[in-house]
Amino acid sequence: MSFLTISHLKKSFGATTVVHDFNLNIEKGEFISFLGPSGCGKTTVLRMVAGFETPTSGVISIGGKNVVNLKPNQRNIGMVFQAYALFPNMTVAQNVAFGLKVAKKPQAEIDATVHEMLSLIKLDHLAARYPYQLSGGQQQRVALARALATKPQVLLLDEPLSALDAKIRVSLREEIRAIQRKLGITTIFVTHDQEEALSISDRIVVMYEGNAEQVGAPFEIYNQPSSRFVASFVGTLNTLDAVVRDAASGIITVDGKDIAIDRTRLNGHKTGDKISLAVRPEAVSLGEATDKRETTLDGKINSVHFLGSVIRIRASLGENTVSFDTFNNPSAPPPAPGENVKVSLAAKDLLVLGH
Amino acid sequence: MPANERRRMSLDWLGVMPFIIFAVLFLIWPTIYLVAGAFQDNEGNLTLANIANLFQPSIMDAYWISIKISLASALLGAFIGFCIAAAITLGGLPAWIRSPLMTFSGVASNFAGVPLAFAFLATLGRTGLVTSFLFNVFGFNLYAHGFNLLSFWGLTITYLYFQIPLMILIITPALDGLKREWKEAALILGATGPQYWRMVAFPILWPALLGTILLLFANSFGAIATAYALTGSSLSIVPIVLFAQIRGDVLQDPHLGYALAFGMIVITGVSNAVYIWMRARSEKWLK
Amino acid sequence: MKTNRIWSWLALAFGIIYFVVPLLGTLEFSLRMRRGAYSLDAYWVILSDPRFQQTFTYSIVMAIVTIIIGIVLVVPTAYWVRLRLPSWRPVLEFITLLPLVIPAIVVVFGYIRLYNTASILPLTGSAMGTNILLAFGYTMLALPYMYRAVDTGLGSIDIRTLTEAAESLGASRVTIMAKIILPNVLVAVLSGAFLTFAIVIGEFTMAALLNRPAFGPFLQLIGANRAYEPAALAVIAFAITWICMGLIQVVTRFNKSLAATKR
């Protein structure tokens, strides 16, 4: 029995439907990310869970209870906003205490909880400061403490890191995850940054144009993308054009070379069909194939970007362009643009893209 | 720093000199002259006698009436203006209403003066549209019930015509500044609408509110044309007393005129200073 | 949320009634001159009154003069301050706030005491001198609005880059001002100009105390002596102000669409 269930959730504004038939079961204590580009509906679903938008149809139940008809202030949910939304007229301590004060908790309890929360985010020393005196990262941590102070049953985070600097984003997301693990609170995290989602989620829901394209653990989403969109949105992807030479035995031709792949992966494509293949940059290596399961393709270097420990190479393989990385080798200088190279990849790493 | 740049810097201020000179000649110096005159007697000696003379009953009455009217029109104007501004920013009204309303407020806030007095005479005067309407349709005799346009309340109601739009113009940006997320954050933390207003919105707004009330107060205090056209000299507010004094030295003491002007400047000056201070405060918070 | 909306509509309705009814009342009153029937008699009387024509013309001329003085004074100064003396901006803003703080009656009182026949600038000694003084007074009254409009306009174009580009192409200061800056802030200047026009046309206090034959004192005189003509005058004054404001909107919108198409 899942803790947070969303069934057949739909939202339309007039004639436009922004969320189509969204379904999801979330276990207690799980950290779920909604990942997708702007306009995919991820924030709308979140806001429906919070109660700021009313679903056109569908059920949202928390702990077995349908909350769709409850007002936001009746749902016992915590929320962290992209713009921090700390109350500017109150100190840090007063902000964190707000939910408890509204719930008319005794002052002693409020003080104790505020202290506990501020220690959790390690900002106890800033309790008397005002929001305008804090940095973005500090404000967001206070916002987190404020949301958690009332011990909500669900925590919602709406792109909380988007307004912050890159470095803070990384450290803060880890901190959020650590706190979430410690408290065991069921959490939904909305983001458009796939690295964020991959690094801290238990499961990811990849969304596109109002639909949940794929739901799964980060490893699954990355290595077994179920659609072209998921494959291209999550991680970098090289696409290669190929032709099916023999559908029955699973032979496809890439750039004049035949590659044998598992024919079940051809998914109904027939001999002579043009298909798209995708391959992750890490599956492509510089140099001849060392293993008979690998195929060698001829290419020409377009550009080489020396990034320090990693060298990013873009090469043309016939009609296709492929981007891949290779590690810096102090004793072997990187190849130069214009050079002819050999590039190898394994058939099993080729993804046949659906539509 | 290189020599020519240094020279450039020291000559740059010449560029604003025409403006500064103009402002000094036609704004600052006349004012200072009056202020200085308020502290001098006929021989040019420094004295506080003029200021002391302000405290005679007729003049004190004038200040008192001015203050009462200004306060009444400021408070009422602020309240009504706030309600209307809140209605168009937060009240869920269609978005297309806002632009015409702001334009109208921009125009109406400058609508003081003689035409405004005429408009209200034509509406609430003894033979005015509304007065007649109330009598012909409801049998209600406005004037028999003690209302008179040429009175304290009549002037206050007339002043509202430019006070309310001024309030709308100034408070609408402040209301816009109330981020939607604050209300949402408050709600999700368990607060009701009224609680949000009491604990978050009003505390954030009160510097702007107070400041604007003072601005409205100062605005009303200095206004004369409307009052003059409406009540003639019958309602002795300070600007009218000053007007009569300038015209014909009715007070028989030019320096008292200076003192009157000085008193006006102090009141409007302090009000505006507090308004600016309040605005700076709220801007710091909302950074 | 629904009850919220009802209150909003009520507030708006109240506002609309309060603001529209006096306008209607004035209009209605102005049509009542002929006993028993609505007519434009009051308007004909007023428009054919030579004093109306004189004072109206006088005020229009004063308005134009004030606008010119305002532009010549404000635009170069605002430009200069933005470009070279940014630390002076607060000073300028303070000065432009002063006319809003110091009541007009105080200012004109100061003029009368300061620039009378006994002073070094005996402006009130002659009719032309007093006219000049009045024009300067009007400029002061309109200063906050003119400065704010022009400053905002300047803020929306990158004057530093424009100036440097022009200088590197060899343009003189005057050329830069006239050919580059002014055209780009024309809309802002026009807004300020229309606002100035509206302010000057209706102004009473300064004109009355300086005894000049302006439209404002004429309005007041008519109001004291006649019954229906004041209402007609008020309608005319309102119409002028509304036309000015309408022109500001038109000009602003035109500029926006022009800027959009340029992009």
Q: Give the pLDDT score at B10.
A: 67
User: In chain C, where are the structural domains located?
Assistant: 49-262
pLDDT at A4 over 60: yes
Task: Give me the residues of C, 78-117, that contact B with CB < 8 A.
Answer: 80-81, 84-85, 88, 92, 95, 97-114
**Residue A355 pLDDT:** 44
Instruction: Using CB atoms, pick whichever of C11, C88, C203 lies closest to residue B84.
Output: C11
pLDDT in tens, A294-343: 888 888 899 998 888 888 888 888 888 888 888 888 888 888 888 888 88
Q: What pLDDT does residue C113 have? A: 84
Q: Residue A23: is its pLDDT beyond 80?
A: yes
Chains that touch B (3 or more CB pairs under 8 A): A, C
Query: Within this chain, do residues B73 and B213 fall inside the same structural domain, yes or no?
Result: yes
- Interchain touch A–B (≥3 Cβ pairs closer than 8 Å): yes
Based on the domain organization, do B39 and B63 belong to the same domain? no
| Dihedral angle sign, alpha carbons of residues A264, A267, A270, A274 | negative
C251 compared with C106, residue with greater pLDDT: C106
Asked if residue B8 belongs to a domain, the reply is: no
What does the alpha-carbon distance between residue A219 and residue A240 come to, in Å, rounded to a whole number? Answer: 23
Q: List pLDDT tens digits, range A130-140.
A: 999 999 999 99
A228, pLDDT greater than 70: yes
- Could B247 and C209 be called an inter-chain contact, meaning their C-beta atoms sit closer than 8 Å? yes
Rounded to whole angstroms, the Cα distance separating A70 from B188 reads 11
- pTM of this structure: 0.80
Find residues 215-254 of chain A whose CB sits inside 8 Å of chain B.
none
Lowest mean pLDDT among A65-69, A153-157, A240-244, C63-67: A240-244
Asked whether the predicted pLDDT for residue C177 surpasses 80, the reply is no
Question: pLDDT > 70: what percent of chain C?
Answer: 95
Put simply, whether C130 touches B (Cβ < 8 Å) is: no
Structure tokens at A344: 């190898």
pLDDT of residue C30: 84
Residues B33 and B154 in one domain: no
Give the DSSP per-residue string, B133-199: HHHHHH---TGGGT--SSSHHHHHHHHHHHHHHHHHHHHHHHHHTS-HHHHHHHHHTT--HHHHIII
Considering only residues A65 and B108, tell me which one the structure prediction assigns the higher pLDDT: A65
> Closest-CA residue in chain C for B121?
C26
Nearest to B190 among A73, A87, A89 (CB): A73
**pLDDT interval class at A5 (50, 70, 90):** very high
| Chains touching C (3+ CB pairs < 8 Å) | B
Q: Where are the beta strands (DSSP E) in C96-245?
A: none
d(CA A232, CA A234): 6
Cβ atoms within 10 Å of B106's Cβ, excluding its own: 17
More confident residue, A142 or C39: A142
What is the strand order of the sheet A186-191 is part of? A77-80, A154-158, A186-191, A31-35, A203-208, A211-216
Which comes out higher in pLDDT, residue B193 or A353? Answer: B193
- For residue B196, the distance in angstroms to the closest alpha carbon of chain A comes to 10
C215 has a pLDDT exceeding 60: yes
My answer on whether B17 and B65 are in the same domain is no
Contact B69, B217 (CB under 8 A): no
What is the pLDDT of chain C when averaged over all its residues? 84
Compute how many other C-beta atoms are within 10 angstroms of the C-beta atom of residue C164: 12
CA distance linking residue B112 with residue B54, whole number of Å? 28
Q: How many other C-beta atoms lie within 10 A of the C-beta of residue B100?
A: 10
Q: What is the ipTM of this complex?
A: 0.80
Name chain B contacts of C98, Cβ cutoff 8 Å: 23, 27-28, 31
Interval B178-199: pLDDT, tens: 888 999 999 999 999 899 999 9
Band of pLDDT at residue B6, cut at 50, 70 and 90? low
Structural domain span for residue B39: 13-47
Q: Which residue of A lies nearest to B196 if distances are taken between CA atoms?
A: A102
Q: Tell me which chain A residue has its CA closest to the CA of residue B180.
A: A85
Residue B163 amino acid letter: Q
Would you tell me the crossing angle of helices C127-155 and C104-114 to the nearest 10 degrees? Answer: 140
- Residue C205 in tokens: 């206090």
Say if residue C258's pLDDT is above 70: no
**Dihedral sign computed on CA atoms, order B34, B40, B46, B50:** negative
Name the helix (H) or strand (E) containing A189: strand A186-191
In the three-class reduction of DSSP (H, G, I as helix; E, B as strand; rest coil), residue A271 is classed as coil
In the predicted model, what is the mean pLDDT of chain A? Answer: 89
> Under CATH, what is the fold of the domain C49-262?
MetI-like fold (1.10.3720)
Question: B76 and B213 share a domain?
Answer: yes
The tokens describing C195, both together, are 């606002």
φ, ψ of residue A96 to 5 degrees: the values are: -65, -35
DSSP class of residue A74 equals G
Instruction: Note whether B204 contacts C: Cβ–Cβ < 8 A.
Output: no
Any idea what the CATH number is for the domain that residue B95 is in? 1.10.3720.10
Do B17 and B38 belong together in one domain? yes
Give the integer Cα–Cα distance in Å for C254 and C151: 19
Q: Is B261 on the interface with C (CB under 8 A)?
A: yes
Calculate the CA A240 to chain-centre distance: 25
φ and ψ of C101, to 5 deg: -90, -45
Q: Between residues C60 and A225, which one has the greater pLDDT? A: C60
> Using 50, 70 and 90 to split pLDDT, how confident is the model at C57?
very high
Residues of C in contact with B223 (CB under 8 A): 103
Chain B hits for A52, Cβ within 8 Å: 184, 187
Q: Is the pLDDT of residue B9 over 70?
A: no
Pairwise pLDDT comparison (B12 vs C211), residue with the higher score: C211
Q: Tell whether B204 lies on the interface with A, counting CB pairs under 8 A.
A: yes
In C, which residues are within 8 Å of B228 by CB distance? 204, 220
> Which residues of chain B have a CB within 8 Å of the CB of A87?
182, 185-186, 199-200, 204
Rg, Å, chain B Cα set = 24
Checking if the pLDDT of A266 tops 50, the result is yes
**B129–C195 CB contact, under 8 Å:** no
Same domain? B33 vs B73: no
Q: What is the pLDDT of residue B54?
A: 80
- Name the residue of chain C whose CA is nearest to B129's CA: C25
Average pLDDT over every residue of C4-28? 87
Contact A110, A100 (CB under 8 A): yes
- Residue range B199-220, pLDDT digits in tens: 999 998 888 899 889 989 988 9
Q: Considering only alpha carbons, which residue of chain A is nearest residue B177?
A: A88
Residues of B in contact with A90 (CB under 8 A): 200
Residues of C in contact with B216 (CB under 8 A): none
* B2: in domain: no
User: Do B143 and B36 lie in a common domain?
Assistant: no
Q: Is B109 helix (H, G, I), strand (E, B) or coil?
A: coil
Do B17 and B109 fall within a single domain? no
Q: Using the beta-carbon criterion (under 8 Å), do B192 and A81 form an inter-chain contact?
A: no
Quick: pLDDT tens for B168-179.
988 888 888 888
Tell whether B188 lies on the interface with A, counting CB pairs under 8 A: yes
Q: Chain B residues with CB inside 8 Å of A79's CB?
A: 184-185, 188
Q: Mean pLDDT, to the nearest integer, of C253-257?
A: 72
Question: Which DSSP letter does residue C166 get?
Answer: H
Mark yes or no for CB contact B268/C102 under 8 Å: yes
pLDDT tens per residue across span B32-76: 988 888 888 777 778 787 778 788 888 888 888 889 999 999 999
pLDDT of residue C254: 75
Which of B118, B157, B264 should be substituted to probe chain C, the one whose Cβ sees the most C Cβ atoms within 10 Å? Answer: B118
- Residue B168: inside a domain, yes or no? yes
Asked if residues A158 and A144 have their Cβ atoms less than 8 Å apart, the reply is no
**Residue A192 scores a pLDDT above 80:** yes
Place of tokens 């149809």: A57
Are B203 and B113 in the same domain? Answer: yes
Distance from CA of A194 to the nearest CA of B (A): 25
CB spacing of C74 vs B228 below 8 angstroms: no
* DSSP for residue B1: -
Contact call for residues C75 and C209 (beta carbons, < 8 A)? no
Chain B residue with CA closest to A134: the answer is B287
Q: How many domains does chain B have?
A: 2
pLDDT tops 60 at residue B1: no
Specify the pLDDT at position C263: 45
pLDDT attached to residue C64: 94
Q: What's the confidence (pLDDT) of residue A354? A: 55
> Is B266 a member of any domain?
yes
Give the contacts of A211 (CB within 8 A, at least 6 positions apart): A20, A21, A22, A41
Contacts B225 to C, Cβ<8 Å? 203-205, 216, 220
**B43 plus B61 within the same structural domain:** no
Which A positions 77-116 lie with beta carbon below 8 A of chain B?
A: 77-79, 81, 83, 85-90, 98-99, 101-103
Summarised one tens digit per residue, pLDDT across range A273-290 is: 888 888 888 888 888 878
What is the pLDDT at residue A306?
Answer: 86
B36 vs A95 pLDDT, higher one: A95
Give helix C41-48 / helix C50-83 axis angle, nearest 10°: 80
Other beta carbons within 10 angstroms of residue A191's beta carbon come to 25
B149 and B28 belong to one structural domain: no
- Percent of chain B at pLDDT exceeding 90: 19
Q: Which chains touch A (3 or more CB pairs under 8 A)?
A: B
